[in-house]
Structure 1
Amino acid sequence: MPHTDPYRLSDAGDGDRTDGVSRSDIVRTLLWAVVVLSAVANMAVSYGDTPVVANLACGFVTVLAAGTLAVRALRGRR
């Protein structure tokens, strides 16, 4: 008789689940890392004595990565 307890921690009987990390998970994690790193770089460039081009480049990378995350999230809802 199979266990139907939804709070059971072991998945020994579930053969339809895939183990491991998917490509989509890796891409999402890398995009979040790019967003965080480029936002921190943008703050550092803003406080430093650097040209405006560096600030704009960091901001562009941040907006591009955040936009890509948003598009992927909206497409995943379909």
Structure 2
Amino acid sequence: MALLTYFKAKGRQWHTVILTTCNQGLIPHKRAPLEDERRLFYVAMTRASANLMISYVGKSCNNKVKASQFLAEAGF
């Protein structure tokens, strides 16, 4: 098992990849260039050779939280 940032995962591949907390404001980060974040998310998703699991928080402290816009863009 490896726990890496999206950036450090570049050029590597695993059978199963789990992307956690894919929430708007975290990915894409609200202060990062959108296109850079989109490319990094693509890199993270394509590191899986067989299984890709994605999670996000739907509710936090009684507040609704949005899933990352990149999930809809990727067809999820």
TM > 0.5 fold call: no
Greater relative contact order structure (CA < 8 Å, 6+ sep): 2
Structure with greater Cα Rg? 1
Q: TM-score, normalised by structure 1?
A: 0.29
Bigger helix share:
1
Given the two structures, how large is their TM-score scaled by the length of structure 2? 0.30
